[in-house]
Amino acid sequence: MILTVTLNTALDLTYRVRSLRPHTSHRVSEVVERPGGKGVNVARVLAALGHEVTVTGFTGGGTGRAVRDRLAGVPGLTDALLPVAGATRRTVAVVDERSGDTTQLNEPGPQIDPAEWGTFLDRYEELLPGVSVVALCGSLPPGVPVGAYANLVRAARAHGVFVLLDTSGEPLRRGVAARPDLIKPNIDELAELTGSHEPLRATQDARRRGAHAVVASLGAEGLLAVTPEGRWQAVPPAPAHGNPTGAGDSAVAGLLSGLVEKLPWPDRLARAVALSTATVRAATAGEFDRAAYEELLTRVSVTAA
């Protein structure tokens, strides 16, 4: 079983407009709602790939109910989300149909009080003995301690559970010090963590800071992996144009599915890049185009770095 943790779940809204222009009114041609937050996105992709996955974290208010309602019909996905007094946030992606560009608006999330955080920690400890892999994903809502991920990493390691960390800023810095098995920052998050803008040097430095392995997202240049088993770069066959929302989460799902299926690193990276690129190409934020994924998987280039 795979467990994903999304402390800051969201209801993702995608608006499509003919052309996005400042200081004007827009007629929206299409609105799509879907459950979101990084760990939720990861879980939905894992379930689509045929894996059993449990989702935990916080939800609240009408948006929280909408998130849970939309998760209820996903085969292979178990909802272990905890209710809180505050309302789950919304994220809004505005897609400009003319240019293909996307503008993203992210709310901060509900205020989590100490009792709610304590209840989550109890639930997390209850879930860990039944899982082999845990993914800790996304931002922290207000009220959650900045060192939260470091504590969750240590708890997972104490149970012998493989732990992937995908966050940014101070939560990432503290989380890396707790020695997660894998981190997946993008190039900007990696530079913020290490102070280096050279990808290979930065990934090596992140390992020295505590990460067992690092897979860095390089945008159009794919993924760079630095692991105890070797170093590789996986590159898509061509730049992807479309909506990047959820692309990094699809990459995480590809890495985790490859891990539990015991695939070698080059195959995990090829899957992650193919899924990420297929997500950018999909019409709706956070979905992936299965036909595109299967076609891309055969054309991703993976070379030693």
Structure-token match 């996905």, residue found: 77
Answer whether 176's CB lies under 8 Å from 196's CB.
Answer: no
Contacts with 82 (C-beta within 8 Å, 6 or more apart), sequence order: 56, 57, 58, 59, 116, 119, 120, 123
232-264 residues labelled b (16+ CB within 10 A) or e (exposed): bbbbbeeebebbbbbbbbbbbbbbbbbbeeebe
| Angstrom distance (rounded) from CA 276 to CA 219 | 10
- Residue 57 has what DSSP assignment? E
**Residue 188 CB neighbours (<10 A):** 12
Which of the residues 181, 205, 249, 289 is marked catalytic?
249
Backbone angles phi, psi at 245, to 5 degrees: -60, 125
**Residue 78 CB neighbours (<10 A):** 17
Tokens describing residue 93: 């992606």
| Side chain identity at residue 281, one-letter code | R
Answer whether 190's CB lies under 8 Å from 202's CB.
Answer: yes
Per DSSP, which regions of 173-267 are E strands? Answer: 182-183, 213-217, 223-227, 230-235
| Angstrom distance (rounded) from CA 63 to CA 18 | 27
Residue 249 catalytic? yes
Contacts with 2 (C-beta within 8 Å, 6 or more apart), sequence order: 43, 46, 51, 52, 53, 54, 131, 132, 133, 134, 135, 256, 260
Question: Any idea which residues carry the catalytic annotation?
Answer: 249
